[in-house]
Amino acid sequence: MPKINYKSNEFLVFLVIVAFVIVATASYPGFFSIPTLFDLLRNGIVIGIFAIGVLLVLISGGIDVSFTAVAVFALFTTTLTVKQLGLDLPWPLVFLVSVLIGMGLGLINAVFIAGFRLPTLIVTLGTLSALRGFLLTFVGSQLISNVPPSMQQFSRLVIVRGTNAQGFFYSLPWAFAFLVGVVVLTWFLLTRTLLGRNIFAIGGSLESARRIGINVRLTQVFVYAYVGGLAGLAGIIHASMARVANPFDLVGLELSVIAATVLGGARLSGGYGTITGTLLGVILIVMVNNSLILLGIPSTWQSVVIGALILLGTGLPSYQAKRAARKAG
């Protein structure tokens, strides 16, 4: 049995989620239901895949803000190419193309970060802006509203569907299985492979990692390619589920995703973070994003609430640590 650390960020976020559910159910009894749960799971797919990627980068001691631009670049280019060539590719191949484009774009980040050793925030801010501009200028700025048939077909695949006693319809798409797959794969990578431990090690101390002979560059190249690949996957899932490829989509979401990851306990200084924490952070952010409207709170309040959660969720533990240190002299 894993021990529960009652002082960890994970536990704190878990408590906030429970509190949120209680308050929400009290003011809107229909909240605590299967349809709400499935809504939450569906809305968590894309953010969840993004957040797992961000977690990896944060653990390695970097930060990536370009993943939304990578995702939208990959999804739009893939959809456009498949359509214009008139190919009837099955959806797994379409997804693969998008993932590969994402990886390729991630490698651009890797060249600057691992190759030229530039600060990760600067590099990814640059690629965020450049990729989006390139996409809109040279690839296209027209929304594609009839995506290829295989993508539409994917959007209709569901694991379960039904109607509850109140007559509300619910369904869980197969896309959710991708989130589960990404979680399992990344968990295995981080905790069971030496490559994963190398990622923790370079985030803990880059200099020490070099000294004991970890190939820091290769590890970084892997991290940014992996995140790029995940972004490509999240992007094409997003487009398939919405059945529309919008080149103006997704960009702007990056701070919410980073917020979810940080709320879950990953440190911006690197070396720390767990999958459980990240998923809890995602649940909280998605819940706030989707459910405040249900409670009759205007949507403009979402960002206020998310901001407050970040300040409390990450500020409180570090304030307590400081007080304890001062008390101890």
Partner 1 sequence: MRSGPRGGHFREQDVASHPLAETGNSFIRIEHVSKSFVGVNALTDVSFAIARGQAVNLVGENGSGKSTLIKILAGAETPDEGAITVDAEVHASLDPRQSVARGIQVIFQDFSLFPNLSVAENIAFSLELAEGRTLVRRRHMRATAERVLERIGVTIDLDIRVEKLSVADKQLVAIARALASEARLIIMDEPTTALTEREVRSLIAIIRRLKADGIAVLFVSHKLTEGLEVCEKVVVLRNGHLVADAPASEFDAGSLAYHMTGRRLAETAKPPLAKSSPAIMSVRGLSRAGVLREICFDLAHGEVLGIAGLLGSGRTELAKALFGLIEVDAGKLLVDGKRVPFGSVHTMIEAGIGYVPEDRLTEGLFLPQSISRNVTIGTIDSHAGRGGVLDRSGLRAQVSNWLARLNIATSDSEAAVQSLSGGNQQRVVLARWLAKRPKVLILNGPTVGVDVGSKTDIHAIIAELAASGLGIIVISDDIPEVLASCNRILVMKAGQIAEEIPGASIKETELARRLMS
Interface positions with partner 1 (CB under 8 A): 191-197, 200-201, 203-205, 207-209, 211-214, 271-272, 326, 329
User: At closest approach, how far in Å is the CB of 200 from partner 1?
Assistant: 6
User: At closest approach, how far in Å is the CB of 7 from partner 1?
Assistant: 13
Residue whose CB is less far from partner 1, 108 or 199:
199
Q: In angstroms, what CA-CA distances link 328 with 6, 7, 106, 128, 227?
A: 21, 18, 45, 45, 41
Given a contact cutoff of 8 angstroms between Cβ atoms, the answer to whether 268 and 58 are in contact is yes
Residue whose CB is less far from partner 1, 48 or 203:
203
User: At closest approach, how far in Å is the CB of 202 from partner 1?
Assistant: 9
Q: Measure the CA–CA gap between 279 and 48, rounded to whole angstroms.
A: 7
Residue whose CB is less far from partner 1, 300 or 326:
326
Residue whose CB is less far from partner 1, 5 or 299:
5
What residues have CB less than 8 Å from 82, skipping those under 6 apart?
89, 94, 97, 148
Residue whose CB is less far from partner 1, 99 or 201:
201
Residue whose CB is less far from partner 1, 110 or 209:
209
User: At closest approach, how far in Å is the CB of 322 from partner 1?
Assistant: 13
What residues have CB less than 8 Å from 164, skipping those under 6 apart?
33, 34, 35, 170
3-state DSSP call for residue 144?
A: strand
User: At closest approach, how far in Å is the CB of 310 from partner 1?
Assistant: 22
User: At closest approach, how far in Å is the CB of 244 from partner 1?
Assistant: 41
Given a contact cutoff of 8 angstroms between Cβ atoms, the answer to whether 267 and 58 are in contact is yes
Q: How far is CA 168 from the centre of its chain?
A: 28
The DSSP secondary-structure symbol of 161 reads E
User: At closest approach, how far in Å is the CB of 198 from partner 1?
Assistant: 8
Q: Measure the CA–CA gap between 309 and 321, rounded to whole angstroms.
A: 18
∠ Cα 114 190 306 (to 5°): 85
Q: How many CA atoms lie within 13 A of 56 on its CB side?
A: 31
Q: Which sign does the torsion angle of CA 30, 50, 64, 5 carry?
A: positive
User: At closest approach, how far in Å is the CB of 212 from partner 1?
Assistant: 4
Which structure tokens are listed for 176? 């959710």
3-state DSSP call for residue 323?
A: helix
Residue whose CB is less far from partner 1, 190 or 250:
190
User: At closest approach, how far in Å is the CB of 180 from partner 1?
Assistant: 22
Which structure tokens are listed for 230? 């995940």
Residue whose CB is less far from partner 1, 43 or 205:
205
Residue whose CB is less far from partner 1, 296 or 326:
326
The DSSP secondary-structure symbol of 245 reads B
Q: How many CB atoms lie within 10 A of CB 10?
A: 21
